Structure formats: C-alpha cells, structure tokens
Structure 1
Amino acid sequence: MRLRPLAVFFLLASQPALAITFQTRLENVEWTVTGDKFECRLAQPVSQFGSGEFVRRAGEQATFQLSARERWMGPGSATLLAAAAPWQPGRGDINLGRVTVGDGEVPFTSSQEQAARLMTGLLEGRSPVVRHRTAMGGDSLEVRLLPARFGKAYEEYLTCTLGLLPVNYDQIRQSQIGFPSGGVELEPLSQAKLDIILQYLEADPSVNRITLDGHSDNSGNRLTNRDLSRRRAQAVMDYLTGQGIPAEQITLRFHGERYPLVANNNAANRAQNRRVTLRLDREAVVSEQPAIAPD
C-alpha cells in the first residue's frame, strides 16, 4: 500500500487555533546534494510543502531557507529552532531567533550563524523547525526537517564546497584595485586580487564586459593626475589581456582626481584614492576594439 505524505493537523491543548505541521515520514526522509563552482545546496524535501535547504554560495558561508510550492506562510516574523528529538530525554529545543518572512517561493533566508547552528544540531540529532502562522487565517504552522540520513549527505555537501570558487559575482562585480604607493605598477596585493577575479571570469563566460576607471589623488597638477590615472587603468588592462581576456571586452577610462573615494585630507585617504575601479557586466559585446576615453 502506498504511504501518504505526512501533513498532520492537530489541536494544541493550550491554544484554540488550529496548528498545521509539515513533516515527511521518517521512512521517506532523504537529503539531496547539488552544486557546481558557484553554489552548493543540501536539501530535504518536505511532504506537501516544498523543501528545506542549506545554500552556500561561493565566497560565503551557508544560509538556510524554505522553498514552498504554495504560499503557506504569511508575512511577518517566524521562529527558528534546533529542536530536540523525542528520543533525547533531557534535551530542550534551542531557539535560534527570528527570521523575517516575506512573499514568494522562498519566504525567508536565515543568517549564516543560524544556518551553522542548524547544521551542528542536525549532526547531534536535532531537527530544524520553523514555527509561524499560515497566510490564510493566521493559524499556527510548523515545518520540521528530520536528521535521518543526514551524515552521509553532509559529507557529500562538504565535498561540493571544496570545489567552490573563492568569490561570487556580487562580491567582485565592482572592485577597487589599489595603487597606494603612488606609482603606476601593479603591486602584489593588487595582482592577487586580479588573479581571483580572473579565476571567476574563467568559470563564468557570461561576464563579457569589463570597465576600468583610473583615478588619482590631488597631489599633483590636474594634467599629471589625469595621466597617472590613465597609466594605472592601462596597467590593469595589460595584466588582464596578458592573462587571456580579449581586449575588445574592456573599456578603459580615466578621471584624474575628479572622483575621490574619500576626502584628500591626509596621507591614508590619498592612498585610497589612487586606484582603478573594475566593474564587471553581463552585456553583449558592441565594439571590436577597446574604448579609451577620459570620462
């Protein structure tokens, strides 16, 4: 006989409102691991609800979220717990705080700290539990994941995370390449930063436009500063093209002292303003030659 998924409706003795619990039967529990260089996911399907997922993007720690097929959860604030199992006498639930619930297929995303504590709890036999209210009528609602078969899936997830890139697109889409000593040669720290960006670009061919904006501080005269900013942008461009980035994907601009990051009122601030801003975009290539413009 086919087992029906568990979606138990019961009355709490201390509350008049109907409580709805979503939980997969123990014998049907499974954890799945999917991922690539950009993201790893460790998920458990939840019968008649959707799934609970740990999501780790490249360059970040994991977060926890629910994915709902229907809009079960109303907007507001839900409680996140690492709940003790019934067979663990003397253990209480660990309240991990609140999460903000909104609309959409993914109603909330936890903090990285909350997700880390949920994973630790799963390794100890605890269940991730979300308690909130329904979108229809405000009845109590609980979504519970089970720790069964978690250990093996967790090992697969860790293997996936070893292959993640060191950064994600949002972290590098606008980067500052510094020239703090005042010259036009790339310094080791700046080269290391560009190497990380190049590693990402190799993995993500959808990023096909790079804009380089050269800047200076206000130490010299304007003409000298404009030339310094141009030579700095050119140094970054030369490094990128030397590593295989097509020159036609790069737009080079230079601004001298016109757009400081911070006020040029001390040595530390002036060092910050000696830079090239690198911006990545996913756009169609419209020019066969690199564009060079002062502004």
Structure 2
Amino acid sequence: MKKIVALMSTYFLILTSLTASLFASDVKAGIRQYSADIHTSNWQLSDDSRLQCTLSHQIPRYGEARFSAKASRKLNMEFELDMMLLPDNYSLAEVRSVAPKWQPGVGSRTLANMKLHKQFNPSLPKKVAWTMLSELEQGMSPTFYYNDWYSEQDKISVGLSTARFKKAYRDFVGCVGNLLNYSFDDIAYTVLNYQSSSDKFTKASQRRIEMIRQYLSLDPELELVLIDAYSDSYGGRWSNLKLSERRAAKIRDYFVQNGIEVSRIEAKGYGEKRHIASNDTTLGRGKNRRVVIQMQKQ
C-alpha cells in the first residue's frame, strides 16, 4: 500500500511539473497579430485602367496587400504582400481562411503555403488569389501565419479585413472585365503589310494597327515608337523609297492625331532595302511590303 501511495505521489509531482512547464512555454511563446479593425479597414481601387487593375488594402504597422490583374490574352491575377520589413531568411507562411469573431463555430481552412524570401515581396498565383477574393466576399478573412524570424518562440499572423471590402471588390471586378485582351508584349514588335503598290494596309494589318493605337493612347510609360517602312522591288527604286517614306509618315501622323506626342515617334522609309523574302513571287513581294513598329518602355 505504501508503494502505491509513493508511486501516486511521484506521478502527481511529474504531472505538476509537466503542466507548469507547458504553462511557462505558453507564456513565453506569443503571437503578434496585424490586421485592420472595422474603423481602419480601407479597401481601394488604386489602379483603374484598361491596362491594369489593382485592389489594395492597408494593414496597419505591417504593409499593404494587393490583388492585381493586367491586360492580357488570358485573364490573369496575382496577390502580393508588400511587407514593410522583409524576412531575414527564407521561410513559409500558411495561408488560412479564418472566420470573423462574429461567426463563432465556423471552422477555418488552409488555402495555400506562401514562400517568404529575403529579396522581394511574397506573392501568390492566380488560382489562390481568386480563392482569397472569394473567401473575402463570403465574409471570411484570409490570414497568414509564420514564425517570427527574430524570435523563434513567437508567431506572426497577418489578416485581411472584410470591412469595407464588397464595394471596392465590385469596382475591381468591373475594372478587370474592361481590361484589354492583349498586352504590351503582344504588340511591342509588330509587322504590318500593305496591299500591292499602295499605302493601304491589308485587313489583318488594319486591325493590328488599331490595337497599337489603342494601347499607345493608354500607356504613358511608352517613351519611343520606331516606325520602319519597306517596299518590294516592283517599280523604280526611287519611287519605292518615296512610297516607303509616305507609308512611315502616314502611320506617324495617324498616331499623332490620336494624342501621341510626335517627339516620341521616329519614322523612316527604307524603300527596297532589307528584303526578307524573294521578290520573284507574289507571296514574297507581299512580305517585303511591310512596316515594322517597335515600342520601348521606360
């Protein structure tokens, strides 16, 4: 009987010591939370054009969250977490959808893992970004959890607030629906072709130059537009040179009439120089009757 009492006393001491140790560990370990409250939460459409749409959200004392989409052939989306202080070493953050306090009993779920790098802001791809927006629309808060790189015992949580989200989100969706269905890369180098012995474009090239005109009118970062016009060798060399010069000048004037500064445009005609195909065939001459438009950004 004495042995049983002694064993129970020892077990009680061990249990007490373990509980105290765990409690002390909980006290030492902490979690730093960053999120906007209902009074400071602010969602806004910081970019609203046919080239880019950005939905931004300030996180007090931490940084800014941004959802952005750009003009492209395919609908794209990216999420970026702009941190005031980048991590000191590589790590991972768990992205969870968390119910607000006024929805007790609603469980959270993991959406993704996000890589944290030393050199640049962390980001998430299209599918996860759209999922996060959907969760916010339903009243859930996407939240990032990771270990503090300066204190191994501490954790950090960064939450996106749902307050004042829906109005800004509707504006953002409207902006995304109005984006151009092509990007700068799609038209940065363009070859236009002409009808025979004419300064009139083929139908395909007419559609193409209209795309370029539209993009030029929207993008203030374009600093230089190079227009190089060429001809085939059908006819006299001098007349072909003058024809190519007229073609280049006509495109330059077309852009200027649509609001592009003439100082940003260089237009030259080269006549029969730099053929890219044989002039012995109709198809080859059609390829040589061309204008090359190149655009450069800042």
The two structures share one fold, judged by TM-score above 0.5: yes
Structure 2 counterparts to residues 143-222 of structure 1, below 5 A: 143-161=158-176, 164=179, 170-171=184-185, 174-179=188-193, 186-205=201-220, 207-213=222-228
Question: 1:196-226: per-residue Cα shift (whole Å, max 9, x none)?
Answer: 221222234553421135689xxx99xx9xx
- Is the Cα–Cα contact under 8 Å of residues 172 and 197 in structure 1 kept in the other structure? no
Percent pairwise identity: 18
Between 46-55 and 26-35, the greater mean CA deviation after superposition? 26-35
> What number of residue pairs does the alignment pair up?
257
- For 1:191 and 1:99, the matched residues in 2 are separated by 45
> Which residue is equivalent to 1:110?
124
Residue 42 (structure 1) shift: 1.8
Q: Decide which structure has the larger Cα Rg and report it.
A: 2
- Is the Cα–Cα contact under 8 Å of residues 80 and 128 in structure 1 kept in the other structure? no
- For 2:247 and 2:116, the matched residues in 1 are separated by 46
TM-score by length of structure 1 reads 0.64
- For 2:58 and 2:116, the matched residues in 1 are separated by 22
- For 1:233 and 1:134, the matched residues in 2 are separated by 64
Query: SS of 2:222's equivalent?
Result: coil
Q: Structure 2 counterpart of 1:242, which letter?
A: Y
Query: SS of 2:99's equivalent?
Result: coil
> Which residue is equivalent to 1:101?
117
- For 2:169 and 2:160, the matched residues in 1 are separated by 14
Residue 48 (structure 1) shift: 1.3
Q: Structure 1 unaligned segments of length 5 or more: list them.
A: 1-10, 261-270, 284-295
Question: Do structure 1's residue 81 and structure 2's residue 99 form an aligned pair?
Answer: no
Question: 1:270-292: per-residue Cα shift (whole Å, max 9, x none)?
Answer: x9999654222358xxxxxxxxx
> Which residue is equivalent to 2:81?
66
Structure 1 vs Structure 2 CA RMSD: 4.6
Compared CA separation, residues 279 and 140, structure 1 to 2 (3 A): farther
Compared CA separation, residues 141 and 48, structure 1 to 2 (3 A): same
- For 1:181 and 1:110, the matched residues in 2 are separated by 47
> Which residue is equivalent to 1:49?
62
- For 2:91 and 2:196, the matched residues in 1 are separated by 50
Structure 2 counterparts to residues 135-146 of structure 1, below 5 A: 135-137=149-151, 140-146=155-161
Given candidates 11, 18, 37, the residue that maps to 1:25 is 37
Question: 1:217-259: per-residue Cα shift (whole Å, max 9, x none)?
Answer: xxx99xx9xx99997796465334235256662233666356x
Residue 47 (structure 1) shift: 2.1
Between 25-34 and 107-116, the greater mean CA deviation after superposition? 25-34
> Which residue is equivalent to 1:119?
133
Structure with more helix by fraction:
2
Residue 113 (structure 1) shift: 2.3
Compared CA separation, residues 70 and 81, structure 1 to 2 (3 A): closer
Query: SS of 2:294's equivalent?
Result: strand
TM-score by length of structure 2 reads 0.63
Q: Structure 2 unaligned segments of length 5 or more: list them.
A: 1-22, 278-285
Q: Structure 1 counterpart of 2:222, which letter?
A: V
- For 2:242 and 2:112, the matched residues in 1 are separated by 51
Compared CA separation, residues 228 and 44, structure 1 to 2 (3 A): same
Between 108-117 and 228-237, the greater mean CA deviation after superposition? 228-237
Residue 128 (structure 1) shift: 2.0
- For 2:197 and 2:32, the matched residues in 1 are separated by 65
Q: Structure 2 counterpart of 1:57, which letter?
A: K
Compared CA separation, residues 69 and 79, structure 1 to 2 (3 A): closer
Compared CA separation, residues 186 and 99, structure 1 to 2 (3 A): farther
> Which residue is equivalent to 1:251?
267
Structure 2 counterparts to residues 4-19 of structure 1, below 5 A: 18-19=30-31
Compared CA separation, residues 282 and 52, structure 1 to 2 (3 A): closer
